[in-house]
Chains A and B, each alone.
Chain A
């Protein structure tokens, strides 16, 4: 294979990943089967890493593959598999269409920033806080950008098409019920998007080499990768083209050095070099110059010092926050202490520690009950999805979210098992109930209850809901159905740890039917 054609392969493969990952987030018609999700997301570094911390299985080995690639060739992930990286490449590509051909030039790395961010992220993850990873993981960031900016557009187009067709009496396109977006996630994603736009238009892959912790981490490994990109003195004509095309600004054409820790393996330099002076060289000797060694030591020391400070501070606050969890102000009379996490997530502890808030479960949930949180899980679980029973409720026989989570925050469960997972327990506020306030029948909550944990008992010649907690699975159907305003008369209090509900096995009300018998009228 000619090195100069590597770029072509890179473009094709990266677009393949980019498009397929994007489709997962905008598949509003549920065309993509659940078993495709883990295949497409197999190589996503952070999700796979987090998943492997619990369940080390074939599905969670993706990050090892990425590490092996990196050890061999450098940061292949950043240009081939990372959707956020490819998004930046696309921004760079299109921005060039609008202005004079951009020339990059070698710049010094922002080591303090990038290794501080990496250190904070890594150590806080080890210390049990996922917040930094959640905010910075490039795949999850990409997921949030798509769910907040592209998905609404796709839904809009679908519904507009439906609307136009419907006025001609065609029901070929079904409308999709848009549950709105979460403002906090929207604002955050918008800010990140603007930052990425600005950085990539101005300085190529600056974000990947300054902000992204995955980039910084893989960069460290790239320093010792087996194959390294080098400029061969013998054939190089000192034209400097390689430096001009380097999005990572890591080629110093004057001193003929390439900073592999920042190289994103886009291979543009291979294609640009007219004399094929840029080559992949096997790194057989591990000798380092004294100067290089000194640099590394300095970096290491700096890195450790800085991250220690951050680590202590960060986890100290995180610990304090965890005690409070999801307390809401008393303005909301439902007064939910714990938010409800999706089925398969085992409970808040498991879920909050593993979810990177990519929003994929939000996208696949057919009822739209899974919505990004704001402060319901506390500030350190910001954006992690929760069950929003004001918007919808969890479909009894549905396990779609459990099948697709790339980080293992939501684990797979079987349908029969899921039907007994108790996410929370319904709490009845009699003072709010129609039967009490209006003195008329209602029972909407009991109607919707799939286990009849909420059943109706005689009360002042009417029927009043009663919750049998042992049967309740916390699906939220009662809360969604409850017609009282502005506050509900029944709501689901989250279980900190998901429990197992009792199966409701009421016996049949015996009634024999003799078809020969006369009609009762």
Chain B
């Protein structure tokens, strides 16, 4: 780790500084004017088309990605199953997001997940590796602890430290692309839960109140700049891995938002549950990570 830092610092010190100041000028925290909606919900189309329409209503990807920026797209690639089983994010959606990033001028777009099953098989059989390569993005492994760096989760109650993938700490734009699924123990996995794939030691979370840890990590300062929930094919039971195609219902929906709690709440409703029923959403709302009160939000509803 130290050696790597040394390399980075010595070899590319100037470059990094330049990027840093660049980030301030075109900072992502400055709200773009056309981004009037807090949440965009699209339904009835194909994953890529729905994303085109959704992102257009937020003023396009150029409001999130600036020229020459380094973008990380983090889908769910947790399981060694084929796309129609809906355990991993739809590869078509991932490809389309990457295309929008490049169209907005991104220098590079990197994709990874800390998978549950064997990572090589997950990358291959999810169809995501191919989709990323075809879209000229870069697929990066997340299987080695050496990629992960210690960070403090200052507002965390149970989770106060975590090891986060260096790309997340390194990138200019972080786009979180979960798939909406049933989950055996926390009921649903959506945006906040998908962040378990950017950390190394998940066992700690499971040992120390999973719901609280999910909410805790959502408070971590490097939050996603954009969340895109894939609810095209939705696993209704036997999640998060699924057993068969019988577990999946075609919902043809897509959500886009900056607020993870809001997007999780909206996705919960699409699934047919109430946000209060999913404890970590409630806890994150109480911890002021975002709001699960959808009434407060300016939502754009698009039916294709």
If A171-B138, A395-B118 touch, whether A508 touches B247 (CB-CB below 8 Å) is yes
CB proximity to A under 8 Å, residues B252-266:
252, 265-266
Stretch at the interface among A261-269, A296-304, A316-324, A439-447: A439-447
Chain A residues whose CB sits within 8 angstroms of the CB of B125 once the complex forms: 397
If A367-B118, A506-B238 touch, whether A166 touches B185 (CB-CB below 8 Å) is no
B80–A396 touching, CB < 8 Å: yes
Chain B contributes a number of interface residues (CB within 8 A of A) equal to: 60
How far, in whole Å, are A506 and B240 apart by their CA atoms in the complex?
15
Is chain B's interface secondary structure helix, strand, loop, or mixed overall? mixed
CB proximity to B under 8 Å, residues A208-226:
none
A38, CB-defined interface residue at 8 Å:
no
A168–B141 touching, CB < 8 Å: no
A511, CB-defined interface residue at 8 Å:
yes
Stretch at the interface among A43-51, A110-118, A451-459: A451-459
Is chain A's interface secondary structure helix, strand, loop, or mixed overall? loop
Chain B residues whose CB sits within 8 angstroms of the CB of A507 once the complex forms: 246
Chain B residues whose CB sits within 8 angstroms of the CB of A485 once the complex forms: 207
B303–A515 touching, CB < 8 Å: yes
How far, in whole Å, are A289 and B163 apart by their CA atoms in the complex?
79
How far, in whole Å, are A485 and B237 apart by their CA atoms in the complex?
29
Chain A residues whose CB sits within 8 angstroms of the CB of B3 once the complex forms: 167
How far, in whole Å, are A398 and B124 apart by their CA atoms in the complex?
13
Q: Min CB distance, A181 to chain B, in Å?
A: 19
CB proximity to A under 8 Å, residues B226-268:
236-238, 240-241, 243-244, 246-252, 265-266
Chain A contributes a number of interface residues (CB within 8 A of B) equal to: 51
A483–B116 touching, CB < 8 Å: no
How far, in whole Å, are A515 and B231 apart by their CA atoms in the complex?
13
A508–B144 touching, CB < 8 Å: no
How far, in whole Å, are A508 and B210 apart by their CA atoms in the complex?
28
Q: Min CB distance, A182 to chain B, in Å?
A: 21
B26, CB-defined interface residue at 8 Å:
no
Contact of B141 among A171, A463, A484 (CB under 8 A): A171
How far, in whole Å, are A515 and B209 apart by their CA atoms in the complex?
37
**Taking CB as reference atom, which chain A residue is nearest B5?**
A167
CB proximity to A under 8 Å, residues B171-209:
183-186, 202-204, 206-209
What 13 new A-B contacts, CB under 8 Å, besides A442-B207, A520-B269?
A: A30-B120, A171-B141, A174-B143, A366-B120, A442-B206, A447-B116, A447-B185, A447-B240, A449-B241, A456-B185, A485-B207, A504-B243, A509-B249
28 cross-chain CB contacts under 8 A: A166-B4, A167-B3, A171-B140, A174-B143, A175-B146, A395-B121, A397-B125, A434-B207, A438-B208, A438-B209, A440-B208, A441-B186, A443-B186, A444-B185, A444-B206, A446-B184, A448-B241, A449-B241, A456-B184, A483-B202, A485-B207, A506-B243, A507-B246, A508-B247, A509-B236, A509-B249, A515-B252, A521-B265
Q: Give the 4 A-B residue pairs with the shortest CB-CB distance, closest first.
A: A443-B185, A483-B203, A167-B7, A515-B44
Binding site for A on B (CB under 8 A): 3-4, 7-8, 11, 41, 43-44, 80, 116-118, 120-121, 125, 138, 140-141, 143-144, 146-147, 183-186, 202-204, 206-212, 236-238, 240-241, 243-244, 246-252, 265-266, 269-270, 272, 279, 294, 299, 301, 303
